[in-house]
Structure 1
Amino acid sequence: MMHRFAFEALDRTFKDIIGVDLPFVGKVIIFGGDFRQVLPLVHKGTRSQMVQASLVNSSFWKDVRILRLQQNMRSINDPEFSEFLLNVGNGEQPSVVEDMIRLLSCMAIPWEGEESINRLVNEVFPNLESHVNDAAYMVERAIITPKNDDVDVLNEIIIKQFTGPERIL
C-alpha cells in the first residue's frame, strides 16, 4: 500500500498535463489490495498517521467505485485459513491484547529457541538440500516476517543448507 500522497501527486500531474479537472482526468485507474490487511508505511509514524496516509483518505476517494472479489484464490484449498483471514479482516477475530490476535494452532510453532526457527524452515522448505536448483520449488514457498533483522537470520539459516562453494557476485 502506497501513501495517498503518491496517488494524489499522480492525479495532479495528469490534470496539469491534460488540463481536465476530473479525478485522473477521467481515466480508469485500478487500485488493488485489501485495506483491512496492510496500511501504508509511515516511517516512525503512529497508527493514526498510517491510517491518515491510506488511500481511502484521498481527495478523490469519493469518486472511487469499489468492486469486491468473491473468492480468496490464495486460500481456496485451505478453508480454515480463509475463514481466519476473513475474521481478522472484519475485526471479528478475538484479541489477546490490544491490537494482537492469537494465531490458529495450525499456524504457530511453539517457541523453543533456535530449534523453533529450524523447525519453521524445515516445514516451509522440506528436503531443501535436494531442491537447491529447483526454481519452481523455491518460488512456491516463502517465510514472511515484518522485521529485516529476522529476514537476515532466516536467510543465513537457509543459505547454510545449500551445498557447494559460496560465490559472492
Structure 2
Amino acid sequence: MTSLDPERASLPFGGITIVFGGDFRQILPVIPKASRTQIVSASLNSSKIRDHCRVFLLEKNMRLSSGKTEQEKHEIAEFSKWVLDVGNGTLPNVYPDDIISDPKVVIPDKFMIRARENPLKAVVDVVYPDLAKNIKNADYLRERSVLTPTNAIVGDIN
C-alpha cells in the first residue's frame, strides 16, 4: 500500500481495514508450553495495534434468542445473561478473600449435565436427543453443536 500512498507505511496493515471478530475474553492465542501471563500478553487485547483499533461491542447473543415457547425464550435469556456475567467478571467470587487465584464462580445446577458413568455420552444425549431418528435431518444437525477446547476431544466425541 505504500506504493500507492507513502503515508500508509506508518499505519497498521498499511491502512487497510481489518475486522477481528470473537469474544477476546475466550479466544486466546495458542502458545505451546507458555505460562498464562505469556499467553495473555500475546493476545489482541495486549497488542500494540490495539490502540489503532475501534472496538464495537455486540451485547445481544443472536444464537441464544431462538426459543420457540415463552418458557424456552426465558431459559435462553437467563443462560445468555449468566454467560455474559461470567465473561464480564460480574458474578460473585466463591472465595472473595482470595485475590491471588482466578475467581471461582458457582455454576447453577440447571446449567449442568451430571453423569458419573459416561459424561461424554450424557453431553451428546442432551445436545442430540433422538439422534438415530434425526441423523438424516439437516436442520436438526445444523441447529446443534458441541464445542470443545481441543481436537483430541472432538475425536472422542465423534
TM-score, length-scaled by structure 1: 0.70
1:124 to 2:113 alignment = no
User: Structure 2: how far apart are the matches of 1:138 and 1:16?
Assistant: 49
Read off the aligned partner of 2:34 and give its amino acid letter.
Answer: G
C-alpha deviation, 1:46, in angstroms: 1.1
Amino acid at match of 1:105: D
RMSD over aligned CA atoms reads: 2.5
Is 1:151 matched up with 2:154? yes
Q: Which shows bigger deviation, 95-104 or 52-61?
A: 95-104
Counterpart of 1:86, as a letter, is: L
Q: Give the direction of change, closer, same or farther, for the CA distance of 1:149–1:67 in structure 2 (3 Å limit).
A: closer
Q: Percent identity?
A: 37
Deviation at 1:36, TM superposition (A): 1.7
Task: Tell me, yes or no, if the aligned pair for 2:92 and 2:105 is still in contact at 8 Å.
Answer: yes
Q: Distance in 1 between matches of 2:44 and 2:32?
A: 17
Equivalent of residue 107 in structure 1, options 92, 107, 111: 111
Over residues 110-168 of structure 1, what are the superposed CA-to-partner deviations in whole Å (9 max), with x where a residue is unaligned? 23222x4333222111111111222221121112222444332221xxxxxxxxxxxxx
* Alignment gaps of 5+ in structure 2: 66-72, 96-100
Deviation at 1:89, TM superposition (A): 1.1
Tell me the SS of whatever aligns to 1:88.
helix
Q: Deviations over 1:57-78 (max 9, x none)?
A: 2222211111112322122341
Q: Which of 89, 92, 97 is residue 90 of structure 2 equivalent to?
A: 92
Decide whether aligned partners of structure 1 residues 26 and 152 sit closer, same or farther in structure 2, where only a CA change above 3 A counts.
Answer: closer
- Structure 1 CA distance, aligned partners of 2:126 and 2:143? 13
Question: Structure 1 residues 96, 18: CA separation in 2 closer, same or farther (over 3 Å shift)?
Answer: farther
Q: Is the Cα–Cα contact under 8 Å of residues 29 and 42 in structure 2 kept in the other structure?
A: yes
Q: Is the 8 A contact 2:115 2:122 kept in 1?
A: no
Report the Cα distance in structure 2 between the residues aligned to 1:40 and 1:131, rounded to whole angstroms: 36
CA distance in 1, matches of 2:133, 2:112: 26
Report the CA distance between 1:17 and its aligned residue.
9.0
